[in-house]
Amino acid sequence: MNSIFSTTRSKARPKRDENEALEIELSGCIYPLRVRKVKHARSIAVSADTVKGEVRITMPPYASTAQALRFARSKSDWLAQHFAKALPPLPIVNGAEIAFAGETHVIRWSPDYRRTPMKRDDEIHVGGPEERIESRVIGWMKEQARTIYEDDLADYCARAEVDLPILSIGDARRRWGSCSGRRAIRLSWRLVMAPPSVRRSVVAHEVAHLRHMNHGPDFYALLDRIFEGRRKEADRWLKQHGAALHLIGAPKR
């Protein structure tokens, strides 16, 4: 008796490796697609990281990579518009301008200069191989940041009457600073490029968290007591100019 159902089995598609590199094409350009599963996420969300030149997807643990790809493709027009409007990264090369403590400085390279960068008035002199300018300048900026942040922390911890925390220097994309329950503060090295009042507002903010791990009235009362500047103005500066700081020495797309 002939069956109306085919007995020929189709070849099973290989299961996608969750760790494999994903990409998405937008207006003829290929962008990496970073997928992150978030425990408390209730839906799939997509964003364009115009600094790193990648598309990011966050989704619930039960969602599949195939769903993430379909969702990203459904937002391709929106993503392409964001990347089209984005400013390109600013490489640190001979003759480029870079901010330090809110003031513009020009990078000057010469094989006769010392390999360790040196600030001279409104210039930063650096020697060694020319192709290493960026890595040397960023390394120097991080060292300067640590020294300056240590002084800021000592000042604000004394005002807040708290012990000095452990300091680490990072480069978080979405947070300028963070404070953990283990009395450790992490600050972005890029803040050393901002005006001193802006940088110090972030340091004061994290020091206030050593006393209050929240954003309640007591937290802001302490922050306003220890910070000598206008924190709302500092917040506005970061919202307006913070993205530009992340373009300095950003990864090439």
The pLDDT of residue 84 is: 73
Q: Range with the lowest mean pLDDT among 19-33, 38-52, 194-208, 222-236?
A: 19-33
How confident is the prediction for the chain on average, in pLDDT? 87
The pLDDT of residue 167 is: 97
Q: Range with the lowest mean pLDDT among 2-16, 150-164, 168-182?
A: 2-16
Cα dihedral across residues 63, 69, 74, 80: positive or negative:
positive
Tell me: the pLDDT tens digits for 210-224? 999 999 999 999 999
The pLDDT of residue 5 is: 26
The pLDDT of residue 9 is: 35
* CA distance linking residue 55 with residue 1, whole number of Å: 55
The torsion angles phi and psi of 54, rounded to 5 degrees, stand at: -140, 160
Q: Which of 106, 143, 142 is nearest to 126 (CA)?
A: 106
The pLDDT of residue 19 is: 40
CA atoms within 13 A on the CB side of 227: 26
